[in-house]
Structure 1
């Protein structure tokens, strides 16, 4: 492939990925939550689903690779909106535990169902063969980007 054609293809790919990213930002708001808050709430629900009734703030910050201060800031917003509750650990009063409320769990379930329906529709739109090919190419892309940027 000549250099001009490669640059043109790279530009087209960058533009397409940019459009997909912008669409995600537009649709990223869930019930008035910022995307970071929605992801945080989903993480609380996910970490609680393994049989644990609550999760430590430190575990949340580690899982999301953010500071505990950042986690506390997001938790405050989610608590004000009624999606989580915070309470002291009975064994160690210095430790704060977090649990999703019923409305928090319902919001995450609803969001996950809508997200899954989007991809079910995409598979129906593309067909099985093209969907598998898209998935294969996206996985190769993820590995390339991860190796390139070292993340």
Structure 2
């Protein structure tokens, strides 16, 4: 049985890599929650840190691998992701999530949720400001 800490160790935001760089890939492991339609995360690392992907490359690599960049769909999932982010070291590399800004819906109101969406089409209902503040305080 997988413990919460084991799960946290494995869940690195559906980090997908460019298949053309397979020689630099240290194979990771998939962790899927039981049941149809449940999230499945893939953990993978580049041993070659000079090869970094931009957003479009990361999205394409995930699609080629049968997945997509991470969409946070619940408060409990967000907490897991927040814990992972705060535990990362600068040498752990970069990652992408599937959040995009809808440039056709910009307004100056305090509610910015309608301005962002996940690549799976759902609206963003979570704010990541607390994570950024925690990371800045720890440096």
Task: Name the TM tier (shorter chain).
Answer: under 0.3
TM-score, length of structure 2 as denominator length: 0.25
Highest relative contact order (Cα 8 Å, sep 6+), 1 or 2? 2
| TM-score (normalizing by structure 1) | 0.24
Q: Which has the larger radius of gyration?
A: 1
Please state which structure has a larger fraction of its residues in helix: 1
